Structure 1
Amino acid sequence: MRYVAAPPQPPVPVIDSRPLAIALMGPTASGKTALAVEWAERLGSEIVSVDSALVYRGLDIGAAKPEPELRVRAPHRLIDIRDPHETYSAAEFAADALREMQALSAGGKPPLLVGGTGLYFRALLDGLSEMPEADAGVRERLREEAAERGWAALHAELLRLDPIAGARIHATDPQRITRALEVHRLSGRPISDWQQAKAHRSFPFRVLKLVLAPADRAVLHERIERRFDAMLAQGFLDEVRRLRADSRLHEDLPAIRAVGYRQAWRHLDGETDATTFRGQAIAATRQLAKRQYTWLRGELDARWFDPFGQRDALEQALRTFLTRP
Structure 2
Amino acid sequence: MPDAQKRQTVVVIGGPTASGKSGLALAVAQAANGTVINADSMQVYNGLARLSAQPPAADTAAAPHRLYGVLPPSEICSAVRWRDMALDEIARAQGEGRLPVIAGGTGFYIRTLTDGISPMPEVSPHLRVQLAAEIAAEGNENFHKRLAAQDPVMAARLHPGNTQRLIRAMEVLMHTGKSLAEWQALPPAGTPAHLRFIKVALLPPRDVLYTRCNARFLQMMDDGVLEEVESFPPPQKDAAWPLHKALGYPELRAYLDGKLSRSDAIIAAQQSTRHYAKRQVTWFRNQMAADIVLETPDAAAILAAL
Instruction: Indicate whether the TM-score tops 0.5.
Output: yes
Runs of 4+ in 1 over 6 A off after TM superposition: 247-251
- Alpha carbons 2:201, 2:288 under 8 Å: kept: no
Q: What is the SS of the residue equivalent to 1:38?
A: helix
For the residues of structure 1 that align with 2:302 and 2:127, how far apart are their CA atoms? 48
Q: In structure 2, what is the Cα distance between the partners aligned to 1:34 and 1:136?
A: 36
Structure 2 unaligned regions, length at least 5: none
Q: 1:101 aligned to 2:86?
A: no
Following superposition, the deviation at residue 185 of structure 1 comes to 2.0
Match of 2:195 among 205, 212, 218: 205
* Residue of structure 2 aligned with 1:273, choices 237, 261, 265: 261
Secondary structure of the corresponding residue to residue 131 of structure 1: coil
Task: Pick closer, same or farther for the CA change 1:82–1:318 going to 2, 3 Å.
Answer: same
The residue aligned with 1:121 is 110
1:2-13 aligned within 5 A? none
Change (3 A) 1:194 1:84: same
Question: 2:51, 2:220 within 8 Å by CA — same for their partners in 1?
Answer: yes
Deviation of 1:168 after TM superposition, in Å, equals 5.0
Deviation at 1:158, TM superposition (A): 4.1
Counterpart of 1:184 (choices 173, 188, 200) is: 173
Aligned residues: 303
Question: What is residue 303 of structure 2 aligned with on the other side?
Answer: 318
Alignment-derived partner of residue 252 in structure 2: 264
Which amino acid is the alignment partner of residue 106 of structure 2? T
What pairs with 1:241-252 in structure 2 (closer than 5 Å)? 241-244=230-233, 252=240
Provide the rounded CA distance (Å) in 1 between the counterparts of 2:63 and 2:73: 24
Amino acid aligned to 1:258 = A
Taking a change above 3 Å as real, the CA distance of residues 234 and 316 of structure 1, as seen in their structure-2 partners, is closer
In the aligned structure 2, how far is the partner of 1:136 from the partner of 1:272? 35
Q: Which moved more, 1:86-95 or 1:75-84?
A: 86-95
Aligned to 2:242: 254
**Do 2:251 and 2:269's aligned partners in 1 also have CA atoms closer than 8 Å?**
yes
Task: Give the root-mean-square deviation of aligned CA atoms.
Answer: 2.5
Paired residue for 1:220, among 202, 209, 214?
209
Q: How many angstroms does 1:252 deviate by?
A: 1.5
**Structure with bigger gyration radius:** 1
Greater RCO between the two (CA within 8 Å, min separation 6)? 2
**Aligned counterparts of 1:290 and 1:84: Cα–Cα separation in 2:** 26
Q: Are 1:84 and 1:249, in contact at CA under 8 Å, matched by a contact in 2?
A: no
**In the TM superposition, what whole-angstrom CA distance separates every residue of 1:175-206 from its partner, at most 9, and x where no partner exists?**
22111111122223221221121334143310
| Matching of residue 38 in structure 1 with residue 23 in structure 2 | no
- Using the aligned pairs only, state the percent identity: 33
CA drift at 1:164: 5.7
SS at match of 2:259: coil
> Aligned equivalents of 1:252 and 1:227: distance in 2?
26
What residue in structure 1 maps to residue 275 of structure 2? 287
Q: 2:39 corresponds to which residue?
A: 50
Does the Cα contact within 8 Å between 2:201 and 2:293 map onto a contact in 1? Answer: yes
Equivalent residue number for residue 7 of structure 1: none
Unaligned runs of 5+ in 1: 1-13
- In structure 2, the residue matched to 1:153 is 142
Separation in 1, partners of 2:5, 2:152: 41
